[in-house]
Chain A
Amino acid sequence: MAYKTRLLATALIAVSSAFPALADDDKIIVGFATAESGFMEAYDKPAQDAAMIRIDEINAAGGLLGKQIEVIKADTKTDRAEGAKAGLTVIDGGADLVVVSCDYDFGSPAALAAEDAGKISFFLCAESVKAGIQGVGPHSFSASVLAAVQGATMAEWAYNKKGARNFYRLLDTWTEYNKGICDGFDWMLPKLKDAKLVGQDTFKNEDASIAAQISRIKALPQEPDAIMLCTMMPGAVSAVKQIRAAGINAPILNGSSMDGSYWLSAVPDLTNFYVPVQGSIYGDDPNPDVSKFNAAYKAKTGSDPSSQYAYPGYVMIDVWAKAVERAGTTDADAVVAELEKMKNEPTIFGPRTFSAELHHQNTTKYEIIEVKDGKPGVVDSWTISEPVPLEALLK
């Protein structure tokens, strides 16, 4: 009996492992090696939901190359070792595109597994230059925009539109993302005539108090025209709250990670606060397609996106599907070649460019969100005057 059961099990395993290979011919498989549990889940899920919206749209319109897109998933459990395993699981499942976690550190194990297998991988929303050729290999891409572009955008915009000349730079040294924002700011500042850095300081995201850093700003002969704050959740809220509580009312510029209204209750009536976003979640985006997407997202998940970080998931499937369509195959090298031909490829969340040197965005159009009296909304849009060069990114 036991022998028979074992025989049956063996047969089942043999059949099931052979199955994906058979399935390859009549469908295209997108494998998500992302976090479905643990703390990264909160960051991966919105972008993944957005990706599913684009996949559903493509399937409803007849599929890709005449085939339906099928999705398989493996949970990384917010663990790097599990991430590599999840990557292998979706590759074994026959994935033509391997989608990995938002963050470089958590997504790279699966991306490296995909690279070894010669598959295309896309980071859901990583904003470090390492998420791509530089950190993984020639088949790896990121769906978002480099952090440096955010810092550069805010500096140039504040200089031109807010008349800011005296900048203060406050860096949270916790992550590469934070440093990336300030690197972009540092690269842009010398290009702005008469603009100068009147002071700078660092803090750590988990610092219980940044009173000493604030005292340094207050010791300046006059309040700076703008404070470039390179930080992210959760320390960012604490920093903004403490800066305002100390009576400093200068404009605060930040990266996209501070987008969303969910944290605004912590700093009642916040004013003079600016972030760059790929699209507005507040229903006031100048592009009506963004609002249409927000409605689709709400229909799928029950609520509006909580920040702009859902959008890269949609863009990812959009550009990849276009490249597959143009290549006429899902073969990795052919699709990479098509992706690298994209120059200012229009998407609803701004133009996208990939090249043989960079699989990431070193310039794009950003909507500028202003928070005024506790209410966020689009006030402007800005594209930096020149792309951030690779030297500034690899600093």
Chain B
Amino acid sequence: MLQIVFDALTLGSLYALGALGIALIFGVMRLVNFAHGDVIAFCVFALLWPSVDAVAIVFAGNLPWYLLIPFVVLVGAGLSVLCEIVVFRRFRDASPATMMIASFALGFVIRYFLLMLFTSRPKSISLLPALSQPVEIFGARLPLLQLITIVTTLLVLAGLTIFLRRTRFGLEMRAAAENFAMARMLGVRANRVIMLAFALSGALAGAIALIFGSQTGTADIQMGAAIMLMAFIATVIGGLGSLGGAVLAGFLLGAASVVMQVVLPVDARPFRDAFVYGAVILVLLFRPQGLLVARGTKERV
């Protein structure tokens, strides 16, 4: 039983971090950033030296952990900010649909850039191998990485909450998320707030890349897609624009997926995701605006 709780928390953590990255940007500029998954993949590939050989040439991946972690997080933040400056800044006044398409296109550009440098062959990388040891906790035996994933996610969430509630930047971001035009009129500098949201979102992508990379040992140009989809669904059920909702829904999705895997009979297990998505549809039928509704997105009459 405890094992299931830990399994659910691990998967939920990944989805929650992903959902948070998307919700942050949606909050300030109503953009569903579909390039987020490709930023995750880029962060993993940043540890390798470009080569078309089957064997990966590990480059930055050899750094000691206290340099490796900031490196990946900075790469994520840097790429994300670059995306905003080069692409999204030009779409400020565009409709959300146009921005979404632009983010799709941007995702493809990043993915094919990686394809060009590294080919489509998945590369193997041993990232933080010390984490691949089993540990015993309350009678459940789980890989150390699972434990670290859960703890990291909780720390990130706590840190982000403090940042948003206690600092000036946080206040500006929350104000921008609630009513962007009004916040601007009251002296919140739009570009700075949006850039900050992108930097945070990119840093979260870096964190996912680290966890995902250590867990799977694989760098694959498509690796971001699956997490991106789940994270996007989590932001929708959580209530678009609501950070707390995104995190909650991320954990719920992870839990649903793990519970389905455990309780479904073996013949139905290949259709696990169909059941999970079925549950998503049910949630949306009963709460079309999401679990927690962001104040800024409510329809005003």
A306 and B218 contacting across the interface, CB-CB below 8 Å = no
Contacts of A211 in B (CB 8 A): 6-7, 10-11, 142, 146, 258
Per-position contact with B for A257-277: 1 when CB-CB < 8 Å, else 0?
000111111111000000000
Q: Place the interface of chain A in its size category.
A: 35 or more
The one of B54, B126, B134 in contact with A260, judged by C-beta atoms closer than 8 angstroms, is: B54
Whether B120 sits at the interface, judged by CB under 8 Å, is yes
Contacts of A241 in B (CB 8 A): 132, 215-217
- Measured CB to CB, the nearest residue on chain B to A35 is B120
- Within the complex, what minimum Cβ distance (angstroms) separates B125 from chain A? 6
Q: State A5–B7 Cα separation when bound (angstroms).
A: 71
Q: State A206–B216 Cα separation when bound (angstroms).
A: 10
Whether A134 sits at the interface, judged by CB under 8 Å, is no
Whether A19 sits at the interface, judged by CB under 8 Å, is no
B122 and A233 contacting across the interface, CB-CB below 8 Å = yes
- Within the complex, what minimum Cβ distance (angstroms) separates A235 from chain B? 8
B14 and A173 contacting across the interface, CB-CB below 8 Å = no
Q: State A247–B3 Cα separation when bound (angstroms).
A: 14
Q: State A219–B261 Cα separation when bound (angstroms).
A: 14
* CB proximity to B under 8 Å, residues A225-259: 233-235, 237-238, 241-242, 244-247
Q: State A246–B132 Cα separation when bound (angstroms).
A: 8
- Within the complex, what minimum Cβ distance (angstroms) separates B291 from chain A? 22
| Interface segment, one of A36-44, A105-113, A154-162 | A36-44
B53 and A234 contacting across the interface, CB-CB below 8 Å = no
Whether B212 sits at the interface, judged by CB under 8 Å, is yes
The one of B124, B225, B272 in contact with A237, judged by C-beta atoms closer than 8 angstroms, is: B124
| Interface segment, one of A121-129, A197-205, A357-365 | A197-205
- Measured CB to CB, the nearest residue on chain A to B61 is A265
**Interface hub of A39, A171, A212 (most chain B Cβ within 10 A):** A212
- Within the complex, what minimum Cβ distance (angstroms) separates B41 from chain A? 11
Whether B164 sits at the interface, judged by CB under 8 Å, is no
| Interface segment, one of B24-32, B170-178, B262-270, B282-290 | B262-270
B258 and A212 contacting across the interface, CB-CB below 8 Å = yes
Contacts of B273 in A (CB 8 A): 204
Q: State A214–B262 Cα separation when bound (angstroms).
A: 11
Contacts of A307 in B (CB 8 A): 54
Whether A299 sits at the interface, judged by CB under 8 Å, is no
- Within the complex, what minimum Cβ distance (angstroms) separates A220 from chain B? 13
The one of B124, B215, B262 in contact with A262, judged by C-beta atoms closer than 8 angstroms, is: B124
Contacts of B119 in A (CB 8 A): 39, 41-42
Whether B186 sits at the interface, judged by CB under 8 Å, is no
- Measured CB to CB, the nearest residue on chain A to B120 is A39
Contacts of A306 in B (CB 8 A): 53-55
Whether B223 sits at the interface, judged by CB under 8 Å, is yes
Contacts of B261 in A (CB 8 A): 201, 203, 212-213
- Measured CB to CB, the nearest residue on chain A to B212 is A208
A202 and B270 contacting across the interface, CB-CB below 8 Å = yes
Q: State A237–B218 Cα separation when bound (angstroms).
A: 7
The one of A201, A242, A260 in contact with B266, judged by C-beta atoms closer than 8 angstroms, is: A201
Whether B99 sits at the interface, judged by CB under 8 Å, is no
Taking A41-B120, A208-B227, A262-B56 as contacts, is the C-beta distance between A238 and B218 under 8 angstroms?
yes
Contacts of A209 in B (CB 8 A): 7, 10-11, 14, 215
- Within the complex, what minimum Cβ distance (angstroms) separates A172 from chain B? 10
Whether B159 sits at the interface, judged by CB under 8 Å, is no
B132 and A218 contacting across the interface, CB-CB below 8 Å = no
Q: State A218–B4 Cα separation when bound (angstroms).
A: 12
- Measured CB to CB, the nearest residue on chain A to B221 is A39
Whether B141 sits at the interface, judged by CB under 8 Å, is yes
Q: State A374–B223 Cα separation when bound (angstroms).
A: 25
- Within the complex, what minimum Cβ distance (angstroms) separates A27 from chain B? 32
Whether A16 sits at the interface, judged by CB under 8 Å, is no
Whether B226 sits at the interface, judged by CB under 8 Å, is yes
Q: State A177–B133 Cα separation when bound (angstroms).
A: 31
- Within the complex, what minimum Cβ distance (angstroms) separates A350 from chain B? 23
> Which residues of A line the B interface, CB within 8 A?
38-42, 78, 171, 173, 200-204, 206-209, 211-213, 215-216, 218-219, 233-235, 237-238, 241-242, 244-247, 260-268, 303, 306-307
> Which residues of B line the A interface, CB within 8 A?
3-4, 6-7, 10-11, 14-15, 53-56, 58, 115, 119-126, 129, 132-134, 141-143, 145-146, 212, 215-218, 220-223, 225-227, 230, 257-258, 261-262, 266, 269-270, 272-273
Which 7 interchain pairs have the tightest Cβ spacing?
A266-B217, A39-B120, A234-B122, A238-B216, A306-B54, A266-B124, A263-B124
Query: In the complex, given contacts A209-B7, A262-B53, A265-B126, what are 13 additional A-B residue pairs having Cβ atoms less than 8 angstroms apart?
Result: A202-B272, A206-B225, A209-B11, A211-B6, A215-B262, A234-B220, A237-B122, A242-B216, A246-B141, A247-B134, A262-B123, A264-B124, A268-B129
